[in-house]
Chain A
Amino acid sequence: MPAEALKCKECREEYELGASYVCERCFGPLEVSYDHAGLDDPAELRRKIQAGPPSIWRYSDFLPFERRPRTALDAGFTPLIRSERLAERLGVGEVWVKNDAANPTHSFKDRVVNVAVAKAQELGFDVVACASTGNLANAVAAHAAAAGLESYVFVPADLEEQKILATGVYGTKLVAVQGNYDDVNRLCTELSGEHPWAFVNVNLRPYYAEGSKTLAFEVAEQLGFELPDHVVCPVASGSLFTKIARGFDEWIDLGILEGSLPAFHGAQAEGCSPVAKAYADGHDVCRPVRPDTIAKSLAIGNPADGVFALEVARGTGGSIESVTDDEIVAGIRLLAETTGIFTETAGGVTTAVLAKLAERGDLGPDDRVVLYITGDGLKTLDAVRDVVSTYDVEPSLESFNDVVPVAGRV
């Protein structure tokens, strides 16, 4: 459907569809608004989606482009797996794991970058850039390389080595900033005013954020165009969380889905939980914090969409929870041992929150729950270094029998 304008979420002021992200009147965030006219036959819309390409571009009618862009590296169409073992372990009716690690650079950030880089090209930018906690860095470097654009990627200097290497390999200008993500973000916000670059999560943020809606569309389509009862999703800036809600909402409005929004549960690490804290305290704004957690991809102490994440959680009967670093590691193991999916620390946060909600009785035998796994475990190997050990043996049966406990019948 055609994008109409950029609209301020705060004061509703409208702007042209350009590279801007802030309302000049009130500094509120701009969001893409669409003209829904002509999209009035849900059955036809579903058929058209199903006939589309195996990527986020099957949903291009709901993304901010006149016609489907052609991109060099396509994201999306990742597996949604029903895990009976995880559901049984937790006493929850149905647990569906959306494994978005199965993207080109192994996190959901490929979706938002796929959209943002396509928009950057359409707007005529030669250089793309981003402030990143790591996953976005991987994605921007890769999609820029595939598109033949120059890129600048800004990360906190203490980022996991895996994420540094998996970004630098694409030939980007990788800038390691002495500071935390919020410092990186402030620097990039300043730089975006000084250089004609497409910062995907600054001046292109309204388009970039739209890419996250495809995580709602895809899950709904994979469930046979049905809604789950609950979703559990990580919260860093709050953008992904709010845009998944927006995606379901748009399809409910268009009649593609029937029912109401699922209960939205946000997951944060206790060492960086400004949104969970505001939720628990009944506040509608988030007080910034200094992050201290192993979940570095969620370590945003000053979340841009925190206020909107709170609205979504409260408005859908959901919640925003936090878990400790030990619980995060336990979450990584729980998911790995029950589903065969190895997730990074952010997925450990999400799985640990799922377990917490189930334990508390907020999720039960009648519930269908979707767990959003947003990144790959190989990105944060250090997190599990202390919980994995080997049996060390000589290459002989005797040594094996001495050292290794033997399962099954002998």
Chain B
Amino acid sequence: MWCPSPGESRLPTVKIPAQLRGLTGNESEAEVEGSSVGEALEALYSRYEGLRDRITEDGELRRFVNVYVGGEDIRFGNGLDTPVGDGDEITILPAVAGG
């Protein structure tokens, strides 16, 4: 297992929801490069074919997709420009739960 040495930055991890694991070879998370949520997701799309269209429409996140960084909805931050790094956890989830 790769471990970061002190001072070395770790890559952000994207957690993949169950509904998309058919496209990721059943992987539930992926380490990707990127300094913002948008960049990290771009890296994810280029790794797994078909993912982009499921998550975005016309370049924007689909309206029933929620994205969180460290448990915080990115709409409380800067949306896709929300910065990530240092082993941050990006979570993609369906929005239509609860209530």
Stretch at the interface among B1-9, B31-39, B40-48, B90-98: B90-98
Most buried by A among B54, B57, B95: B95
Instruction: Give the interface SS of chain A, mostly helix, strand, loop or mixed.
Output: loop
Contact with A along B63-81 (1 / 0, CB 8 A): 1111010010101100000
Q: Is the CB of B54 within 8 A of A185?
A: no
Q: Is the CB of A182 within 8 A of B64?
A: no
CA distance A303 to B98 in the complex (A): 8
Cα distance A288–B71 in the bound complex, in angstroms: 14
The reply to whether the CB of B59 lies closer than 8 angstroms to some CB of chain A is no
Given contacts A193-B18, A288-B75, contact A181 B98 (CB under 8 A): yes
The DSSP consensus for interface residues of chain B is mixed
Residues of B within 8 A of A173 (CB): none
B71 near A186: Cβ-Cβ < 8 Å: yes
Could you tell me which residues of chain A, from 2 to 37, have a CB within 8 Å of some CB in chain B? 10, 21-29
Contacting pair A304 B95 (CB below 8 A): yes
Could you mark each residue 182-225 of chain A with 1 if its beta carbon is under 8 Å from any beta carbon of chain B, else 0? 11011011101110000101100100000000000000000000
Contact of A27 among B64, B68, B71, B99 (CB under 8 A): B64
Pair A27/B73 contact, Cβ less than 8 Å: no
The residue from B19, B57, B76, B98 contacting A131, defined by CB atoms under 8 A apart: B98
Whether B54 contacts A27 by the Cβ 8 Å rule is: yes
8 A Cβ contacts from A291-315 to B: 300, 302-305, 307
Q: Is there contact, CB below 8 Å, between A300 and B99?
A: yes
User: Is there contact, CB below 8 Å, between B94 and A21?
Assistant: yes
Given contacts A22-B19, A27-B19, A27-B54, contact A131 B64 (CB under 8 A): no
Contacts A27-B54, A182-B73 given; indicate if A188 touches B62 (C-beta within 8 A).
Answer: no
Is A85 interfacial (CB 8 A cutoff)? no
Chain B neighbourhood of A240, CB < 8 A: 99
Asked if A186 and B93 make an inter-chain contact with CB atoms under 8 angstroms apart, the answer reads yes
Report the nearest B residue to A194, measured CB to CB: B18
- Asked whether A302 and B96 contact (CB < 8 A) given A25-B54, A27-B54, A186-B91, the answer is no
Instruction: Convert A358-394 into 0s and 1s, putting 1 for each residue whose CB lies closer than 8 angstroms to a CB of B.
Output: 0000000000000000000000000000000000000
On whether the beta carbons of A10 and B91 are closer than 8 Å, the reply is: no
Pairwise interchain contact B99-A238, C-beta atoms closer than 8 A:
yes
Question: Number of residues in A with C-beta < 8 Å to the partner?
Answer: 42
Chain B residues 4 to 34 lying within 8 A of chain A, measured CB to CB, are 15, 17-19, 22
Contacts A22-B19, A29-B64, A189-B93; A202 near B71 (Cβ below 8 A): no
* From A181, A193, A194, A202, residue with most partner B Cβ within 10 Å: A193
B96 adjacent to A304 (CB under 8 Å): yes
B68 and A29 contact, CB distance less than 8 A:
no
B94 near A22 with CB under 8 A, answer: yes
A193 to chain B, nearest CB (A): 3
Contacting residues, chain A, for B55 (C-beta < 8 A):
27
Min CB distance, A410 to chain B, in Å? 55
Q: Could you mark each residue 32-45 of chain A with 1 if its beta carbon is under 8 Å from any beta carbon of chain B, else 0?
A: 00000000000000
Question: Is A236 engaged at the interface, CB distance under 8 Å to the other chain?
Answer: yes
Q: Which residues of A contact B71 (CB under 8 A)?
A: 179, 183, 186
**Residue A239, interface by CB 8 Å:** yes
Given contacts A190-B91, A193-B17, A302-B73, A285 and B98 within 8 Å (CB-CB): no
CA distance A131 to B62 in the complex (A): 24
Bound CA span A22–B71, Å: 21
Contacts of B73 in A (CB 8 A): 182, 288, 302
Measuring CB to CB, which residues of chain B are less than 8 angstroms from any residue of chain A?
Answer: 15, 17-19, 22, 54-55, 57, 62-66, 68, 71, 73, 75-76, 91, 93-99
12 residue pairs of the A-B complex, CB under 8 angstroms, read: A26-B64, A27-B62, A27-B64, A27-B96, A28-B64, A131-B98, A236-B99, A239-B99, A285-B63, A302-B95, A303-B99, A304-B99
